[in-house]
Structure 1
Amino acid sequence: MDLHSLPVRSVSGVTPAKAKELEELGIDSVARLIDYYPFRYEDYRIRDLAEVKDGEKITIQGKLYSEPALQMYGRSKSRMSCKVYVDPLFVTAVLFNRHFLKDRLRPGQEIVLTGKWEAKRLQLTVSEAEFPGGSSSQTGTLQPVYSLTAALSQKWMRKTVKQALTQFGALVPEVLPPQLTDKYGFMARKQAVYRIHHPDDAAEGRQARRRLVYEELFFFQLKMHAFRALQRKKADGVAHEFDNEVVRQFVRALPFKLTDSQKKVIGEILHDLKQPYCMNRLLQGDVGAGKTVVAAAALFASVRAGHQGALMVPTEILAEQHKRSLERLYEPYGIQVGLLTGSLTDRQRRDTINSLHMGLIDVVVGTHALIQDDVMFRNLGLVVTDEQHRFGVNQRSVLRRKGMNPDVLTMTATPIPRTLAITAFGDLDVSTLRELPKGRKPIQTYALGHDKLERVIDFIRKEVSGGRQAYIICPLIEESDKLDVQNAIDVHAQMSHAFPEFRVGLLHGRMPAQEKDDIMNAFKDNDVQVLVSTTVIEVGVDVPNATVMVIYDAVRFGLSQLHQLRGRVGRGEHQSTCILIADPKNETAKERMRVMTETNDGFEIARRDLELRGPGDFFGTKQSGLPEFKLADMMSDFEIMEHARDDAAELVAQSDFWTAADNLPLREFLQREQILDGERLD
């Protein structure tokens, strides 16, 4: 009998109304009820008061010493207190709104009390009371605590899960092959599922969790590796045919020398492009590591093989910058570069779309405008998305579907810790640029309070007087009633007053596209010396003459975003400085500023950002494709995740994976997940 096919109402005591409440938690079958694990436990084991800290929740057992004293407040509110002898102490037990127990509390009677301990007063504020010997006693146990809706109580859920395990526990199947359970010495799945809900002690609970966390991560990785194996077997991608020597000549003709890291990554991408299956590669690198030129080489190879390329970026400023860069690199080869953004006129947009459809444009750079329904390609061979975490999963998927399974290269300048790369992008090959181009000087970073603003202004004046330029970043465009933070419009006015001898520009996302372009071009040409901006300049803007980055209210940004902003300077021959203006009021804020001032390594910063903020906030969007695990934690369970990934890859690579009887539960899982039907992983 398959527990997935048994409705949750099969469990005794689950009424239609309760079944509806369970469905709100995603529990519609017996399997999902049994696999709905607790997130913590209430400890009802008897504690020695000598070992208990003040304020802890504890369970004690003792003998009632005095009659309870009762005070009533209105009809239903009450405070009752009595003395309980817990050898060798007399403890005052205080019970609120439990006056109905008064007649049962007789001196000499044994009682078990749970509540908050106040050591100085020898007082227990009681939350639960039991008389030993009751049929439903919790004394001495660890009780599960579940995440529930208001309509379901912990008591009912505990009883219902226990009933489900009593009725159907014998049918819980073993899903891991013997080679894995033996390898790690896992307890049987039946036992693990029972013990995760009802551990006899903490050690047993840890063993059950270890087994089930591995299983959860293993099945996630199995899905990824099976999908990749099947896609490669189908070989329905674009096999680019080009001469490697032609690409080498393109690289040798570049106006700068590539790092060894860039050369290695380009080699990996060119190898993938020639394969008959779809390339699905993530290119990550630190700020300024030179990802754009890697993408340019890949797009060049695709065009030389007779295909079109698309580069999707998050902002119009970045799209226009990339278009200009690619035009310069491709000009000697006659490669046509197009631009498609939301600010084009109807005529410009129509001409670009027609040129794409007819194959007159070889490479198109654009924003979300690329994924509109009427945008069609003649022969799309390679899709590159820059700053991929800023696009939702569905947006990336739509662009990919505009060709016949084109190769896909996704790029990010937010270095992703291996923890997340393996989890969120398990179906991608990952290439990493660790080197920065030669000659780059580390950016000096300082954290200062708002009271040091005059010193900051003096420093900006000194740098700009020497011919350099400065960015000043604000978290908001205009004043907010709700947030006490600096806004770009006010700061622009302040800086214009502070620097009458310089031209101070203003840039934010609400400005018309042409106005933004004019300001950025003026800044690039040094017609604007100080640029006050929101985070619209976070990604990709390249002004080598800018040497100062000032960030107001720096505690309002994540570490990785601060690192991105800092990366707008340090691109030229002169020493650059980043000043974080912050008055941190808590330890987390202080720690974030400390990390930024101690390291320029984007990978280390990303790791610390993940620790401080968690994976959801790290990406800043629920559309990032991150899985939500029931038990597993991406940070603390990373070692288990790596084992699970290696085991899944090894199993899928075995020739008998698709036929061996031991692997039947794994194949049934893949069937349920529609991986065997050729569904794409997005």
Structure 2
Amino acid sequence: MSLAQYPVDVLSGVGPQRKQHLEELGISTIQDVLEYYPYRYIDYRVTDLGEAEHESQITVQGKVYQTPSFRWFKKNSSRLSARLDVDGIMVQVVWFNQHFLKDKLIPGKTIMVSGRFDRHKLEILAKRTFVSEAEQEKQAGRLEPVYSVNANVQINWLRKLIEEAYRRFGGEIGEILPSTLIEEYRLLPRATAMYYLHFPKGQQEGHQARRRMAYEELLLYEAKLLYLRRLQKTEIEGISHRFDHEKVEELVSQLDFPLTGAQRRVVDEILDDLQASPQMNRLLQGDVGSGKTVVAAIVLYANYLSGYQGALMVPTEILADQHAESLRAILRPLGLTIVSLTGNMRARERRDTLSQIQMGLADIVVGTHALIQEGVVYRQLGLVITDEQHRFGVKQRALLREKGSNPDVLFMTATPIPRTLAISVFGEMDISTIDEMPAGRQPIDTYWVKIDLFPRIVTFVEKECQTGHQAYVICPLIEESEKLDLQNAHDLYEQLTLELSPVRVGLLHGKMNPAEKEEVMRAFSENEIQVLVSTTVVEVGVNVPNATVMVIYDADRFGLAQLHQLRGRVGRGGGASTCVLVADPRSEQGNERMRVMTETTDGFEISRRDLEMRGPGDFLGVKQSGLPAFKVANLAEDLKIMEVARADAALIVNDPEFGSKPETKPIYDRLQAEGLNSKSFD
């Protein structure tokens, strides 16, 4: 019997209610308990004050030098402080809301304190205090694991549960990795590594345990992706599109601009996929303004020529309307019917559109998640394109795919991912990259200015408008907030309306109804509004070639990827464009983001720096991208391990005896236990 077959309630103290609370944490079986690893450790090893860094977590042992001072303040809040002699260095220790310690801090008594160290003040903000000799002896030198818990599961109880699970079932932990890999990389045995993660004995053992389990976790992940890819190529029969290549080339020749070499390359890659019988599952990534929409139009036309409908799903209604208009401009002269399907349509208009789709009168359907709602029936769906794929959940993308009979699937994103990471993370997809900008597209001059210079920026915007151009002004908030001292769109709209008169200023934000948003964007697109004050609702896809200025207020409150997307809204008309970042950063990371934005306009370089600064979970959007939240591995630190794991996984999965060879069968069985089959990538 495998550990995954033992339910968690075989452990003492786990009744129906606690079982439910554990399931909320993803713990249902003994295997889940043993593999529920800590996300950090509290280090109770005594720190040398001379080497302690400012604001680091430290543990010290010393003698109470004087009677502590104590006072109540506010309601039921207290502050306790005392001086501590730590090896001849006098340190002030502060305890908040720990009044019960007052009578225990006797001058001359040795205590152990763990907390945050302020090197400038020689002060420790205490989190844990150990007064008795027995407590100090027990904690000294320990690394205490910290687990992610919820309001219903206490961490101390969870620790005891894990201890019991190891005591009763630790001997049944089986090996997963082939012995050849364990020997080659000098990895700890699986049971030992898992034990050290929960009950660390020291830094060296902890490092070796983490290395072993990170490698295993990444190997299993890569094996799953590669096996899914193999199933996809061999078991999922897609559509073999047959179309007239000369007609496709006629469309390309009739465009207002020549394709870049990169666009030509990715078009050929996608058309080859359309013609092949396996179902296409391809990721197209390219920087803001690199020309992904034109590529989409060309491949949608090829899909139409082969007798199939195409669907393009986008995250917002504004973007859906813009994409529909762009496709009509390119494809309507060739006889194609492009319809929009969004949530704000009137009932009669929606019924008519649904009838067109079902009868096959609509050749291309562009819309939001309305495309996947019940009642949307396609006549013959052959190609599904999802734009800004990370903004849709995996299940949403799968629902659209299921609207047809194994249609070909193309995901598009303007959030470039470093190639090594993209191959490893989206390994079940083929990847096409547009790494070249269209001719004539000028770099956007980017400046970082402090908030007190905003009046000069207003003057600059006014001059640009007087020459016939337009500007965006972006704010992080819609309305004034009591909690955040940030500029908001409503106040700035009122201010600029007065200061820029007679220049017309418009306001756009997410709380407006769809009709209001559409009217504001129409007015801005047609230059009836010269300055658009907005929140990040314009981040993706809004295309106004006449806009040459992007001002981002409180820019340090945005991530690098978001700042780059916003900057990409200007510079679309061939003229010189400017992005102004208005910020007084409150953190070093905020300063670093401003520096990166002023140093480069290369989306791939920005994505690399973004990955370094934020880590992969936030960078990729774990919940939306389908990337699992790894229990041990950290892609920002473990890219090298991931590359090695992917190469090893390829050798394992491509072996014809993968599922039967004793050395690799545990990996195969583990993947099958997770429900691995040809539909798993949905």
TM-score normalized with structure 1 length: 0.86
Matching residue of 2:571: 570
C-alpha distance in 2, partners of 1:275/1:649?
Answer: 23
Shift in Å at residue 394 of structure 1?
A: 2.5
Q: CA, structure 1 residues 664+546, in 2 after alignment: closer, same or farther (shift >3 Å)?
A: same
Which letter maps to 1:280?
A: N
How far did residue 470 of structure 1 move?
Answer: 1.9
Please tell me whether the aligned partners of residues 503 and 530 of structure 1 are also in contact (alpha carbons under 8 angstroms). yes
Instruction: Check the 8 A contact 1:114/1:127 in 2, yes or no.
Output: yes
Whole-angstrom distance in 2 between the partners of 1:532 and 1:121? 47
Q: Match of 2:625?
A: 624
Contact 1:8/1:28 (8 A) holds in 2: yes
Deviation at 1:158, TM superposition (A): 4.6
**Number of paired residues?**
670
Partner of 1:31: 31
- Tell me if the contact between 1:78 and 1:97 (Cα under 8 Å) persists in the aligned partners: no
Contact 2:64 2:84 in 1 (8 A): yes
Q: Is the alpha carbon distance of 1:158 and 1:467 closer, same or farther for their aligned partners in structure 2, counting shifts above 3 Å?
A: closer
Residues 1:532 and 1:96: Cα distance change in structure 2 (over 3 Å)? closer
Per-residue CA deviations over 1:521-556 (Å, capped at 9, x if unaligned) read 443343433333333322222222221112223233
Kindly provide the amino acid, as one letter, of the partner of residue 674 in structure 1. G
Counterpart contact for 1:70–1:78, Cα < 8 Å: no
Match in the other structure for 1:507: 508
| Separation of aligned partners in 2, 1:211 and 1:21 | 30
Instruction: Tell me whether 457-466 or 529-538 shows the greater mean CA deviation.
Output: 529-538
The residue correspondences of 1:360-379 to structure 2 (distance < 5 A) are 360-379=361-380
Aligned partner of residue 610 in structure 1, secondary structure: helix
Corresponding residue for residue 186 of structure 1: 187
| 1:596 aligned partner | 597
With over 3 angstroms needed to count, the CA separation of the structure-2 counterparts of 1:191 and 1:408, relative to structure 1, is same
The 1:174/1:473 distance shift into structure 2, 3 A limit, reads same
Deviation string 1:450-501 (CA, Å, 9 cap, x unpaired) is 3222211221222222232222223344445554433434433333333334
SS of equivalent to 2:487: coil
Structure with higher Rg: it is 1
1:195 paired to 2:182: no
Name the aligned partner's letter for residue 590 of structure 1.
Answer: N
Superimposed CA distance per residue, residues 576-631 of structure 1 (whole angstroms, 9 cap, x where no aligned partner): 11112223233232222222122111122223333444445446683332311211
CA-atom RMSD, angstroms? 4.0
Residue 233 of structure 1 is matched in structure 2 by 234
Say if 1:619 and 1:142 are closer, same or farther in 2 by CA, change over 3 A.
closer
| 1:14–1:160 Cα contact (<8 Å) kept | no
- Of residues 199-208 and 298-307 in structure 1, the stretch that sits farther from structure 2 once superposed is 199-208
Shift of 1:675: 1.1
Give CA-to-partner distance per residue, 1:125-155, whole Å, 9 cap, x none. Answer: 8822565799x94555544343445676666
Q: After the TM superposition, which of the residue ranges 245-254 and 542-551 deviates more from structure 2?
A: 245-254
For the structure 1 residues 260 and 161, does the alpha-carbon distance in structure 2 shift closer, same or farther, using more than 3 Å as the test? same
Contact 2:44/2:114 (8 A) holds in 1: no
CA contact (8 A) 1:388 1:412 kept: yes
> Contact (CA 8 Å) 2:188, 2:208: kept in 1 or not?
yes
For residue 445 of structure 1, what is the amino acid of its counterpart? T
- Cα pair 1:566 1:578 within 8 Å, conserved: yes
How big is the shift at 1:420?
A: 5.7
Aligned to 2:284: 283
Question: Relative to structure 2, which stretch is displaced further, 331-340 or 597-606?
Answer: 331-340
Q: Distance in 1 between matches of 2:147 and 2:19?
A: 16
Task: Calculate the TM-score normalised by the size of structure 2.
Answer: 0.86
What residue identity is the alignment partner of 1:394?
Answer: K
AA of the residue aligned to 1:541: V
Change in CA separation of 1:665 and 1:488 when aligned onto 2, cut-off 3 Å: same
Structure 2 runs not aligned, ≥5 long:
73-77
1:106-505 equivalent positions in 2, closer than 5 A: 113=112, 115=114, 127-129=129-131, 131=133, 137=138, 139-148=140-149, 157-418=158-419, 421-422=422-423, 424-505=425-506
Structure 1 segments unaligned to the other structure (5+ residues): none
Distance in 2 between the 1:519 and 1:396 partners?
Answer: 30
Deviation at 1:372, TM superposition (A): 2.2
- Percent pairwise identity: 50
Relative to structure 1, the CA distance from residue 552 to residue 24 in structure 2 (aligned partners, 3 Å threshold; closer, same or farther) is closer
Which residue identity does 1:413 align to in structure 2? A
Say whether the 8 Å CA contact 1:440–1:570 is kept in structure 2: yes
Say if 1:560 and 1:609, in contact at 8 Å, map to a contact too.
Answer: yes
The AA in structure 1 aligned to 2:263 is Q
SS in 1 for 2:664: helix
Deviation at 1:402, TM superposition (A): 0.9
Decide which moves more: 89-98 or 263-272.
89-98
Q: Is the 8 A contact 1:424 1:627 kept in 2?
A: no
The equivalent of 2:75 in structure 1 is: none
Q: In the TM superposition, what is the alpha-carbon distance from 1:53 to its structure 2 partner?
A: 7.4
Partners of 1:122 and 1:400 in 2: CA distance: 59
Corresponding residue of 2:59 = 58
Task: Report which stretch shifted further, 414-423 or 183-192.
Answer: 414-423
Displacement of 1:44 in angstroms is 4.9
Give 2:4's aligned residue: 4
Identify the range of structure 1 (448-457 vs 86-95) with the bigger mean alpha-carbon deviation. Answer: 86-95
